[in-house]
């Protein structure tokens, strides 16, 4: 017979749908700094390369864009994987303790992302197609899916969740109020995807604000679980890849 003193701790008695308790992270490391510097400086360095002088790249702009993005995200992915390997391993073990709940909640979160994005677009007064979206759609026309999928479904989500959730929420909350961290994560995430868009309008930011808000919620709700937010981001991008190539194929068949 149990007594009050023998009751299991609250974390062990937590129901499957309850938010996970947040975890404290260590300080920033040199690997964290190196990853951020690469993420910021590599695109700047590429911008100064005389790529426009290449006749081959002028004739194959989609392939050139793909190779540049693959190179940047591939390099940063290697560094972030090394920096976050202990966190990812631990978070995967946590998710594995409730596999059916994890597998069931991911599609629900994906639906929430779509709904949140649609609401944000409606409140902003409409959708403005960004250069980022146009570039991704152009990839689908010139690059086969089995090449774009690793970039968009594996490399991109891992790198972005590491930087915008793990570093800007998980670790930055050691120094700043957590609500400030949420706002910074959301703002920088949305801004990243609209940097090259002329005007930098609310209509351009809106869909990414909706997506980012759900990613922030998912990360925090699961107790700062990086593996979960990466999985959710990857699932959303996988859906985008499937839709892009399905629409492209149907257009070719018509």
pTM above 0.75, yes or no: yes
Question: What is the pLDDT at residue 7?
Answer: 37
Q: What is the pLDDT of residue 194?
A: 85
Residue 131: what pLDDT?
78
Tens digits of pLDDT across the chain (254 residues):
444 444 344 444 456 556 666 666 778 999 999 999 999 999 989 888 776 667 766 677 788 889 989 999 999 999 999 999 999 999 999 999 999 999 999 999 999 999 999 999 999 988 887 777 888 888 888 899 999 999 999 999 999 999 999 999 999 999 999 999 999 999 999 998 887 655 678 888 999 999 999 999 999 999 999 999 999 999 999 999 999 888 754 443 43
Q: H/E/C letters for each residue in 33-95?
A: HHHHHHHHHHHHHHHCCCHHHCHHHHHCHHHHHHHHHHHHHHHHHHHHHHHCHHHHHHHHHHH
pLDDT at residue number 32: 96
- Report the alpha-carbon distance of residue 113 to residue 181 in Å, rounded: 20
- Return the domain boundaries, the chain: 28-40+59-253
Distance CA 240, CA 117 (A): 14
Per-residue model confidence (pLDDT) at position 24: 63
Q: What is the pLDDT of residue 252?
A: 39
Helical packing angle, 99-124 and 202-221, nearest 10°: 160
- The Cα–Cα gap between 65 and 59 comes to 12
**What integer pLDDT is reported at residue 64 of this predicted model?**
83
């Amino acid at each position: 017979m149990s007594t009050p003193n023998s009751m299991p701790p609250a974390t062990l008695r937590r129901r499957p749908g309850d938010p996970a308790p947040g975890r404290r992270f260590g300080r920033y490391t040199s690997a964290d700094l190196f990853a951020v510097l690469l993420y910021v400086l590599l695109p700047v360095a590429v911008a100064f390369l005389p790529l426009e002088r290449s006749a081959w790249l002028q004739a194959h702009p989609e392939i050139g864009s793909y190779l540049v993005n693959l190179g940047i995200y591939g390099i940063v992915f290697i560094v972030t994987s090394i920096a976050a390997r202990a966190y990812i391993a631990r978070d995967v073990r946590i998710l594995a303790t409730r596999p059916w709940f994890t597998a069931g909640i991911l599609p629900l979160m994906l639906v929430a992302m779509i709904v949140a994005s649609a609401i944000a677009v409606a409140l902003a007064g409409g959708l403005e197609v960004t250069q980022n979206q146009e570039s991704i759609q152009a990839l689908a026309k010139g690059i086969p899916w089995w090449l774009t999928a690793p970039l968009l479904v594996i490399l991109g989500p891992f790198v972005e969740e590491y930087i915008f959730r793990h570093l800007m929420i998980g670790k930055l909350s050691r120094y700043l109020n957590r609500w400030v961290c949420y706002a910074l994560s959301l703002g920088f995430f949305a801004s990243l995807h609209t940097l090259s868009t002329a005007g930098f309008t609310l209509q351009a930011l809106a869909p990414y604000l909706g997506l980012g808000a759900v990613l922030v919620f998912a990360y925090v709700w699961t107790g700062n679980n990086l593996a979960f937010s990466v999985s959710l981001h990857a699932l959303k991008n996988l859906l985008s890849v499937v839709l892009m190539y399905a629409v492209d194929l149907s257009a070719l068949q018509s």
